[in-house]
Amino acid sequence: MSHRLTQAQLDAHWMAYTGNRQFKKDPRIITSAAGNYYTDSDGRKIFDGLSGLWTCGLGHSNPAINEAVAEQVKTLDYSPAFQFGHEKSFLLAEQITEFMPAGLNRIFFTGSGSESVDTALKVARAYWRKKGMGTKTKFIGRAKGYHGAGISGFSVGGIPANRTLYGQGLESYHLPHTQVPGSEFSKGMAEQGKERAEDLLNLIMMHDASNIAAVIVEPMSGSAGVIVPPKGYLQRLREICDQHNILLIFDEVITAFGRMGAKTGAEAFGVTPDVITMAKQVTNGVIPMGAVAFKQEIYDTFMDNGGPDYMLEIPHGYTYSAHPIACAAGLASLSEIKKQGLIERVSSMSSVWEDSVHQLKDASPMITDIRNYGFAAGITIAPIDGEPAKRPFQIAMAMWDKGYYVRYGADTIQLAPPFTTEQSEIDSLVNALGETIKQQR
Ligand code: PXG
Ligand code: PLP
């Protein structure tokens, strides 16, 4: 390993969502990135099988984004987010609405997906209070959901390992996940599992709609291993929320801006929520940024009940809301997605991707499920007795040694290559993964 870091330097950084002790014994240091590849500190070229952390669909070091950022740093490096503005945030908000379903046309900027979730949940509570329904405060999430690392995100999230250390969160209840027996190896949306939406009626019965502010789900769960909604499931959630006056929030931090071969998960699955959270791909991951799209009626409710116009309509925001450099990166990123026709590209290549990842089924009996949509796939690996997360970790490390970066989490391997990936790159990624899984004991 040819990096130059001392043990003291390694120890000084408490790394995010990382096995720090293992990493610091055997550091994996990335030194540069271009296109669909990283270079590590040994000079090896490594294929980016997760587009960063689902962030970099355009690949790395996109010249248009780089130039926009460099220019912005020189022109306006920071401007205050509260009570003053700069032009690019308004241009970007309008650009984002072009990617959102019709009607979700009011954009609030944040610094990350976690802040976007916090924003959506706070606005949901405040919205009902503004409408004279201040008892609507509880939230409904879903088992296996991931909604970021904030106190609100872990509360509505449904990945046990992310919750159990942290004690009491916001009052939240959870729908069951949709991975039902019989749905294994479904291509795209499963036929089975739609009925799990009916559990929302049970939760409403237990808590009463007068106490529930919002339901929040990822249209397709990313972190838990690419869990695609069953046919009709999201439609049914939408119906029930409408019937009971509950806001429906889609957390599209992973699914917005192309990953699904559509502008959003909402568009891919044909269901329009009231609120969409986003982050990651909005700037291609180059500068941290998140955003939340609200349907206009929510925004209008605050404007119409805001008191005198020198008053804030909602006391909420972040120092880095609409950061000018992030806005410049966002404008360039969205413009590149359109110019290169990448959403159409993912859509037209998604069947190649689907066929390729499902061929893995024959590689090993250890593979107990494969799921896919757009340019995303999740592969479930049968656990070693008593060590459920070990095989995916070993597989991901062996893949890194072979020159492929893939994500592992719980009992799954996750793949999400850049939108610019060629068929030959898909083939070599999937072949290497098949070989690696075969070598597991
Ligand atoms: N919501 C969803 C649906 C996400 O996927 C967040 C919120 C939080 O975003 P921030 O920017 O605060 O991290 C996410 C983030 C993985 C992985 O490998 C996924 C995420 C983050 C890190 C790793 O699956 N998703
Ligand atoms: N903590 C302190 C002491 C602060 O002054 C601020 C912002 O001014 C924050 C936290 C919140 O930081 P941010 O706006 O970057 O989320």
Q: What is the pLDDT of residues 387-403, one digit of tens each?
A: 888 999 999 999 999 99
Q: Collapsing DSSP states into helix, strand and coil, what is residue 369?
A: strand
| Residue 112 CA, closest ligand 1 atom number | 11
Give tens-digit pLDDT for 88-117: 999 999 999 999 999 999 999 999 999 999
308 burial class (0-12, 13-18, 19+ CB within 10 angstroms)?
Answer: exposed
Average pLDDT of the residues in 249-260: 98
> CA angle, corner 398, sides to 395 and 401, nearest 5?
150
Q: Report the alpha-carbon distance of residue 125 to residue 119 in Å, rounded.
A: 10
112 pocket-lining for ligand 1 (C-beta < 6 Å): yes
318 Cα: distance to centroid of ligand 2 (angstroms): 7
128 pocket-lining for ligand 2 (C-beta < 6 Å): no
Q: What is the mean pLDDT of the chain?
A: 97
Average pLDDT of the residues in 356-382: 97
C-alpha gyration radius of the chain: 22
153 close to 147: Cβ distance less than 8 angstroms:
yes
| Residue 145 CA, closest ligand 1 atom number | 3
Residue bearing the CA closest to ligand 1, atom 9: 113
78 DSSP assignment: -
Give me the domains of the chain, ranges plus CATH numbers: 7-58+341-438 (3.90.1150.10), 66-339 (3.40.640.10)
378 pocket-lining for ligand 1 (C-beta < 6 Å): no
Average pLDDT of the residues in 7-22: 97
Name the helix (H) or strand (E) containing 205.
helix 199-207
319 pocket-lining for ligand 2 (C-beta < 6 Å): yes
pLDDT above 90 (res 3): no
pTM for the model: 0.96
Q: What does the pLDDT read at residue 1?
A: 59
Query: What are residue 110's phi and psi, to 5 degrees?
Result: -135, -175
With bands split at pLDDT 50, 70 and 90, how would you rate the model's confidence at 191?
Answer: very high
